[in-house]
Structure 1
Amino acid sequence: MPARHEGPTIGRRRLRAVLRRAREAADLTQDYVARQMDWSLSKLIRIESGSVSISTNDVKALLDLYGVRDHQQVQELVELARAARRRAWWSSYKDQVPPAYAAYIGLEAEASALQYFQPISFPGLLQTEAYARAVIPADGPHHVPAAEIEGRVQIRLARQHEVLYGADPPDIEVILDEAALRRMTGGPRVLREQLQHVAKMCESTHITVRVLPFTAGSNTILGPFVILRFAEQAETDDVVYVESALVEEIVDRPADVQSYQHVFDRLRADSLPPAESLALLHRTARQLDERPA
């Protein structure tokens, strides 16, 4: 698994874990720490959940309260705080998307490996511009207002540029239900170009695509999910991004992440090998070429 540059998202996740462990080792409650720091309890909770960053001075004060005075350790955590406050390329988009999606973009940008299951469409990182525009929902629970669709498309293209074409792109493994290949999103021309685009992306050594065929039988996993994995030196746990008709959320409990990994492994076992999947992509695209005008 490639070691990717540590950015603000991983920095914040590492820092929250270290600070929480230091507080627990000192046998201090969150209420007590908040009072000693003259903070609201909610501020400390947000810091320990990683939802907000923390200043270097506050890190030093917390560590002193927790009895952590080793100079090297303190300096390392201060550097983590600086990394966590650094602006990333995606920072300007945070106010344009739902919070869970914004969190996902930050994690995706720093992940070492991404494992997708897509039951009805293609993952955003592998979408053409036309397909991205066609697949963004204009109605339903997660509908995007018409005025915002173009902005979402541009965010998706920016993600592709930053994640796929950087110096150290992540390993990407995709399982597509065959329904995604057949669903006429955007019409025959848009779908054909999308299929050809994914087939081309399969030439990359860090992208693997498998198709879960209709012949595999009933598929009870109806919603898409992405497992995001991080290099060992990042010292942060793997997470799952889940998107359904009613919910978008980041799942980070290790037991839950492991459950999703088991599901992904089962889906992989039922899927066509990469070479056969690529052949099916090409064959489906050719069938669209043969459709009457």
Structure 2
Amino acid sequence: MPTIPLVPTVRRRRLGDMVRAFRTEAGMSAEAAARAMGWDPGKLSRIEHAKAQLQPKDVPLLLARYGVTDLATVNALVALAKDAGKTGWWQTYSGVVAPSYVDLIALESDAEAIREWSPLLVPGLLQTAAYARETIAAHALTRTPEEVHALAEVRIARQSVLTTRPGASPLRYTAIISEAVLHQRFASRPETMRDQTRRLIEQTDVPGITIQVMPLNATPHPGGAGGFSLFEFAHPMPDVVQVENLKGTTYAEGTEDMRLFDDGFGRIIGAALSTDDSLALLKKMEKRNRS
């Protein structure tokens, strides 16, 4: 029976990238490191490229070859190795969820904090079921009604990270939403935006959630280049930037990328309304939508 290729999940890719970075820093070739572990010469290369699994028990031994003995670092990579191939609730929707979407769900599950600039839609983690169905149906032109329903279910299920994180600290979530989004209308279901605005107001009371609105008369800011999300992780895991564009969803790691987007997000916050003024605007919009 042929061997089924290993799926390079985002966790496995992150583990491989970190292992390769430590090896490079130690000045060892992949072949030399593999020999030191008693492995086939190509095994470590496959691990580093997320095409083979790194067993948790081998993590401390491999890191020791690279001179990495910091207990927090070792434990973090052991935990990542344990979770690298783990599947979650989203497996039920494997027929409609693209690999990049699975990556997003895993990042949301593992992150300590998420910061998001959303110029076109209410962020998925804050959407109502009705808003999710309407917007997915409008954008997913090739999807069947059944697939649209499934994708909406996935979007709502993702929101559990805001309140339920077994064994982890509560997620810190910050969303900056363009005011233009709040003016969106759903002709066939006018109550959709009213209920969505009400949901945003309710979410401002949830510990760890911060919502701010970018006013229509805001000064120019880096957010004009498009939306993005920042995922922050416990040391030593590198933080991740998610950017969506016409080519799809892309992810970037590394100090330079994070520094650029972190600075950009700071400038976006500086141009947005304060949390109090944002709440006041949301309440005004909700009241208007009731009339």
What is the TM-score when the length of structure 1 is the normalising length?
0.78
Match of 1:194 in 2: 196
Match of 1:113 in 2: 113
* Distance (whole Å) between structure 2 residues aligned to residue 85 and residue 193 of structure 1: 38
The answer to whether the 8 A contact 1:126-1:198 is kept is yes
Show CA shifts across 1:184-243 (max 9, x none): 2574210110000110111112111111101114566252211111234xx111111111
Which protein, 1 or 2, shows the higher relative CO under an 8 Å CA cutoff with sep ≥ 6?
Answer: 1
* CA pair 52-277 structure 1, distance change in 2 beyond 3 A: farther
* Distance (whole Å) between structure 2 residues aligned to residue 271 and residue 98 of structure 1: 33
1:183 Cα deviation from its structure 2 partner: 1.5
* Distance (whole Å) between structure 2 residues aligned to residue 149 and residue 10 of structure 1: 25
The answer to whether the 8 A contact 1:119-1:222 is kept is no
* CA pair 226-94 structure 1, distance change in 2 beyond 3 A: farther
Q: Secondary structure at the match of 1:19?
A: helix
Match of 2:5 in 1: none
* Distance (whole Å) between structure 2 residues aligned to residue 174 and residue 119 of structure 1: 10
Match of 1:6 in 2: none
1:178 Cα deviation from its structure 2 partner: 0.7
* Distance (whole Å) between structure 2 residues aligned to residue 182 and residue 46 of structure 1: 50
1:253 Cα deviation from its structure 2 partner: 2.5
* Distance (whole Å) between structure 2 residues aligned to residue 81 and residue 178 of structure 1: 42
Correspondent of 1:230 among 223, 229, 233:
233
Correspondent of 1:214 among 209, 212, 216:
216
Q: Secondary structure at the match of 1:197?
A: helix
* Distance (whole Å) between structure 2 residues aligned to residue 216 and residue 55 of structure 1: 51
Show CA shifts across 1:49-97 (max 9, x none): 5576423476588569x47798x89985656533434444445445532
Note the 1:74-113 alignment, pairs <5 A. Answer: 76=75, 80-93=80-93, 96-113=96-113
Show CA shifts across 1:86-112 (max 9, x none): 444445445532222211110111111
Match of 1:123 in 2: 123
Correspondent of 1:204 among 206, 212, 215:
206
Q: Name the count of aligned residue pairs.
A: 275
Match of 1:149 in 2: 148
Deviates more, 1:13-22 or 1:279-288: 13-22
* CA pair 273-163 structure 1, distance change in 2 beyond 3 A: closer
Match of 1:23 in 2: 23
* Distance (whole Å) between structure 1 residues aligned to residue 226 and residue 58 of structure 2: 41
* Distance (whole Å) between structure 2 residues aligned to residue 222 and residue 240 of structure 1: 15
Letter of the structure 1 residue corresponding to residue 116 of structure 2: Y
Match of 1:5 in 2: none
Match of 1:278 in 2: 279
Deviates more, 1:246-255 or 1:118-127: 246-255
* CA pair 87-32 structure 1, distance change in 2 beyond 3 A: same
The answer to whether the 8 A contact 1:56-1:82 is kept is yes
* Distance (whole Å) between structure 2 residues aligned to residue 117 and residue 69 of structure 1: 36
* CA pair 242-144 structure 1, distance change in 2 beyond 3 A: farther
* CA pair 256-49 structure 1, distance change in 2 beyond 3 A: farther
Please give the root-mean-square deviation of Cα atoms over the aligned residues, in Å: 3.5
Residue 180 (structure 1) aligned with residue 186 (structure 2): no
* Distance (whole Å) between structure 2 residues aligned to residue 81 and residue 17 of structure 1: 12
What is the TM-score when the length of structure 2 is the normalising length?
0.78
Percent identity between the two aligned chains: 31
* Distance (whole Å) between structure 1 residues aligned to residue 282 and residue 205 of structure 2: 13
Match of 2:3 in 1: none
The answer to whether the 8 A contact 1:117-1:175 is kept is yes
Deviates more, 1:22-31 or 1:240-249: 22-31
* Distance (whole Å) between structure 2 residues aligned to residue 222 and residue 143 of structure 1: 27
